[in-house]
Amino acid sequence: MYQLYSNPRSPFSKRVHIYLQYRNLPYETLTIALEKLENRKKPFIQINPYGKVPVLVDDGFFLAESQAIIRYLEEKHSFDSPFFSKEIQKGALLNQAIQRCESEFCFPGSIVYFAKKFVPEEKWDTNRMKDSLKRIGRHFDILEGILESNDYLHENRFGFLEILYAPFIRQIELMEVKVPTKVGDWVKRVLEEPVVSRVLADSN
Ligand SMILES: N[C@@H](CCC(=O)N[C@@H](CS)C(=O)NCC(=O)O)C(=O)O
């Protein structure tokens, strides 16, 4: 059975919970108390020197980084409907979309999110936040183009991208960015996916 070092408030961990449950892979959750800085101390710091969750344990093999974990499991198990197509260019386009999700949405999103959640307003770096919101707005416009003729972002089915976005689009109202119609419909569709709503409602 797999083990997953995780924290209930960690969106990156939630990605892996969603994936493991979507693929029906049995696992056990090992909670790391970030609020007690358990992630910065031994033994966890020896498992991941960056002190971050999630980390997957597969029979003595340790792997950090949510995307890397999902890819590893996807490659290890040969599912009937793999997320990565055998067609090299389709796989490359998925990789492109994954990088854009991280750099054009999750990264600028986290700047806004952490400021609003944890920093007093008088200390906000407003220029950086404005720039981040502009990037998110542009990203949504690009997604809107894809979603004009698709219900999902890649190969028109729920997949890797939806799993990466899910824990972050839940916080969309914090972004105070105009959400285009099709993107709004897609957000609702993704959050209503049974495994997504179950994991996001769960505190583990
Ligand atoms: N790129 C990593 C990011 C992981 C990450 O930032 N985890 C946060 C929780 S959501 C964490 O452990 N933060 C603790 C810290 O940085 O001290 C991934 O995709 O897994």
| Ligand 1 proximity of 14 Cβ (cutoff 6 Å) | no
The residue whose C-alpha atom lies closest to atom 6 belonging to ligand 1 is: 52
Where does a domain end: 50, 81, 112? 81
Per the structure, the complete domain to which residue 152 belongs is given by 88-197
For ligand 1, say whether the CB of 51 is within 6 Å of any of its atoms.
yes
Domain match, 66 and 149 both: no
Closest CA to 74 of 24, 4, 23, 26: 23
64 falls within a domain: yes
Contact 39, 52 (CB under 8 A): yes
Q: Based on the domain organization, do 188 and 122 belong to the same domain? A: yes
- Position in ligand 1 atom list of the atom nearest CA 40: 17
Q: Characterise 186 by phi-psi region: left (phi > 0), alpha (psi -120 to 50), beta (else).
A: alpha
* Residue that finishes a domain, picked among 81, 108, 136: 81
Query: pTM value?
Result: 0.95
- Decide whether any atom of ligand 1 lies within 6 Å of the 32 Cβ: no
Regarding whether 181 and 108 lie in a shared domain, the answer is: yes
DSSP E strands in the chain: the ranges are 2-6, 27-31, 55-58, 61-64
Distance CA 150, CA 110 (A): 27
Q: How far is CA 90 from the centre of its chain?
A: 21
The 10s digit of each residue's pLDDT in 38-87 is 999 999 999 999 999 999 999 999 999 999 999 999 999 989 999 998 89
